[in-house]
């Protein structure tokens, strides 16, 4: 490392990032405490039902995340601003994480409840397909080296992928119902204590989500900066003009 590199300014993360992280952590702990201590165990499912407090918010937040990717993708294609692309990528990454979490939690709940890890229920199946669509999105980003190209391509994939989410859901739903297989819709009325725990968990999950996305977007910005420094460095070394 020569002096030139050290003298370069590394931008700090946004000032609100650290407090947000703490608030998210506290919110998460508080929501769990209420879920486990205050709300009573379910009459039929007992404490097993409490997995819903993390499973459902995780699914909601992931879904919201994919919608944000959709909006940011359109915003990028219209404005061509690089930070839209960076944020879309960060949001997609964290949403994929939460989708995977949703599926795992759902399976853990489904095993004792239904007796099986997996069922071809419309919501479950379309969540899995959604996960694969966005894993494709992330893989495309990983394999595309040119930045401008990566941003445009992934925006296109992000838009078409999101359009497909409701279509996948309804196709699986109609496929299953037109064949008259059992449908699992055990929603019913929700007690207010459950509703409170669910609401608090949703807020906590949203905070955690936003914090992770902001952190990831900041890291992406640093990565981008490092790449441009390495390029400059290489130009200096080969003796050509460094473009600054």
Partner 1 sequence: MNAELTRIGAIVWKDLTAERRTKANFNAVVFLAGLILLLFGFAIGTEQASMQPIAGGVIWLTVLFSGTLSFNRSYEQELENGALEMLLLYPGDRRSLFVGKLLANLLFVLLVEVVMLPTAALLYNLPIWTFLAPLSVVLLLGTIGFVTLGTFYAAMASRLRAREVMLPLLLFPMLVPLLVGAVQATGGILNGDIMGSTWWWVRFLFVFDVIFFVAALFAFEYVIED
Q: Applying CB under 8 A, which residues contact partner 1?
A: 77, 129, 132-133, 135-136, 139-140, 143-144, 149, 152-153, 155-157, 159-161, 163-164, 167-168, 170-172, 174-175, 178-179
Nearer to partner 1 (CB atom), residue 39 or residue 154: 154
Q: Which conformational region is residue 86 in: left (phi greater than 0), alpha (psi within -120 to 50 degrees), or beta? A: alpha
Name the minimum Å distance from CB 94 to partner 1: 19
Nearer to partner 1 (CB atom), residue 32 or residue 144: 144
Name the minimum Å distance from CB 120 to partner 1: 11
Name the minimum Å distance from CB 139 to partner 1: 6
Name the minimum Å distance from CB 63 to partner 1: 16
Nearer to partner 1 (CB atom), residue 40 or residue 132: 132
Nearer to partner 1 (CB atom), residue 104 or residue 160: 160
Taking only Cα atoms into account, the Rg of the chain, rounded to an integer number of angstroms, comes to 22
Nearer to partner 1 (CB atom), residue 130 or residue 213: 130
Q: 75: buried, middle or exposed (CB in 10 Å: 19+, 13-18, 0-12)? A: middle
Name the minimum Å distance from CB 186 to partner 1: 24
As a dihedral over the C-alpha atoms of residue 21, residue 24, residue 29, residue 32, rounded to 10 degrees, the angle is -150
Long-range CB contacts (within 8 A, 24+) of 22-30: 23/207, 24/204, 24/207, 24/208, 24/210, 24/211, 25/208, 27/200, 27/203, 27/204, 27/207, 27/208, 28/204, 28/205, 28/207, 28/208, 30/200, 30/204
Name the minimum Å distance from CB 129 to partner 1: 5
CB of 225 closer than 8 Å to CB of 11: yes
Nearer to partner 1 (CB atom), residue 55 or residue 141: 141
- Look at residue 40 and give its three-state secondary structure: coil
């Amino acid at each position: 490392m020569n002096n030139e590199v050290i003298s370069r300014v590394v931008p700090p993360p946004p000032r609100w990032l650290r407090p947000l992280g703490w608030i998210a952590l506290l919110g998460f702990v508080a929501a769990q405490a209420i879920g486990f201590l205050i709300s009573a165990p379910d009459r039929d499912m007992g404490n097993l039902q409490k997995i819903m407090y993390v499973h459902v918010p995780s699914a909601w937040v992931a879904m919201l995340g994919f919608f944000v990717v959709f909006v940011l993708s359109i915003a990028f294609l219209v404005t061509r601003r690089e930070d839209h692309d960076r944020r879309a990528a960060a949001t997609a990454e964290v949403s994929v994480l939460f989708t995977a979490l949703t599926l795992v939690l759902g399976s853990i709940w489904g095993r004792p409840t239904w007796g099986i890890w997996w069922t071809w229920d419309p919501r479950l199946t379309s969540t899995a397909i959604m996960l694969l669509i966005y894993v494709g999105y992330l893989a495309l980003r990983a394999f595309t080296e040119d930045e401008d190209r990566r941003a445009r391509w992934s925006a296109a994939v992000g838009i078409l992928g999101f359009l497909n989410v409701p279509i996948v859901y309804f196709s699986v739903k109609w496929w299953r119902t037109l064949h008259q297989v059992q449908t699992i819709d055990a929603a019913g009325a929700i007690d207010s204590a459950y509703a409170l725990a669910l609401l608090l968990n949703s807020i906590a999950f949203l905070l955690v989500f936003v914090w992770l996305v902001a952190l990831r977007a900041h890291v992406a910005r640093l990565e981008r900066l490092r790449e441009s420094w390495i390029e400059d460095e290489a130009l200096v070394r080969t003796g050509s003009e460094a473009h600054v």
